[in-house]
């Protein structure tokens, strides 16, 4: 009798163990899809992607011996607060008193030249404009910007500018004609001996006439790639008629 009781208890224990173990074995053998599909990505696949080695295609290419290009963006905009040059106008979106427009360069890529604002100026609260381009060609390189405005009468142009070695800076003043603002009223170019990075002031008188455009031009001189850049730090450009200031650009943010 006792033997039968023991057999029944043993059989009950075995059946209980089978009922507990059998479902677990079935679950372990199933391929259950994850219920978390946030962003349309399976969680398990996302984890595998994180653990996978980085593809060579995702590794940024080294800039080699020309890292300066990373720090020479073109300051541009649409003139209404934009952050990129527009193909129609190529206007500089900067803190200047007047709109400035980039003109086609010679032997210089558009991405390798610019007219920057917010440069150190001559005194407290005053800033300068930086005209620059990369000199990476053995050919002559030139870039220019222009500012057009309603006609005024002037007889003098004055500029304060610092030019680095290997660069020449020019200012040209134009007047209106029946065919547009194309009449050259006055021009000058900084002498080669003044490309010493120090500020100099230049004043040029001309016959009183209507003026509608100021153009600034930067060229490399001599034509070489030794310096890798040509720059001009412009403190101000002013047009006068006698003692009267008719137009001024001192590249300072207007408040």
Helix (H), strand (E) counts: the chain = 2, 9
Give 211's strand partners: 152
* Residues 239, 147 contacting (CB under 8 angstroms): no
Give the per-residue pLDDT at 242: 96
Which DSSP state fits 52?
A: S
Could you tell me if 225 and 135 are in contact, meaning their C-beta atoms sit under 8 angstroms apart?
yes
Coil vs helix vs strand at 37: coil
- With tokens 């200047």, the residue in question is 96
Cβ-based neighbour number of residue 231 at 10 Å: 21
**Residue 143: predicted pLDDT:** 96
**Neighbouring residues of 4: CB distance < 8 A, sequence distance ≥ 6:** none
In 3D, which of 143, 137, 141 has the Cα closest to residue 115?
143
What's domain 67-249's architecture?
Sandwich (2.60)
Question: What tens digit of pLDDT does each residue of 25-64 get?
Answer: 443 333 333 333 333 333 332 233 333 333 333 333 333 4
pLDDT of residue 138: 81
Residue whose tokens read 């990476």: 136
Q: For residues 189 and 133, is the Cβ–Cβ distance under 8 A?
A: no
pLDDT at 147: 96
Q: Which residues of the chain have pLDDT under 70?
A: 1-89, 93-95, 122, 224-227, 253-255
Q: Rounded CA gap, 172 and 170, in Å? A: 7
Q: Which two tokens stand for residue 179?
A: 């065919």
3-state secondary structure of 84: coil
């Amino acid at each position: 009798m006792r033997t039968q009781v023991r057999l029944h208890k043993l059989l009950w224990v075995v059946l209980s163990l089978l009922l507990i173990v059998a479902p677990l074995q079935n679950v372990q053998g199933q391929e259950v899809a994850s219920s978390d599909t946030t962003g349309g990505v399976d969680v398990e696949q996302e984890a595998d992607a994180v653990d996978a080695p980085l593809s060579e295609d995702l590794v940024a290419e080294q800039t080699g011996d020309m890292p300066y290009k990373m720090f020479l963006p073109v300051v541009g905009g649409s003139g209404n607060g934009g952050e990129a040059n527009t193909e129609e106008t190529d206007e500089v979106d900067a803190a200047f008193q007047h709109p400035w427009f980039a003109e086609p360069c010679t032997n210089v890529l558009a991405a390798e030249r610019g007219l920057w604002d917010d440069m150190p100026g001559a005194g407290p609260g005053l800033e300068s404009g930086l005209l620059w381009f990369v000199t990476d060609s053995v050919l002559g390189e030139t870039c220019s910007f222009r500012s057009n405005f309603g006609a005024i009468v002037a007889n003098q142009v004055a500029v304060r500018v610092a030019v680095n070695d290997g660069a020449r800076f020019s200012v040209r003043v134009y007047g209106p004609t029946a065919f547009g603002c194309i009449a050259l009223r006055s021009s000058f170019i900084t002498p080669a001996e003044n490309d010493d990075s120090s500020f100099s002031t230049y004043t040029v008188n001309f016959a009183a006439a209507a003026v509608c455009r100021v153009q600034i031009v930067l060229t490399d001189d001599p034509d070489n790639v030794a310096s890798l850049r040509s720059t001009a730090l412009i403190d101000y450009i002013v047009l006068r008629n006698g003692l009267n200031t008719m137009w001024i650009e001192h590249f300072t943010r207007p408040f």
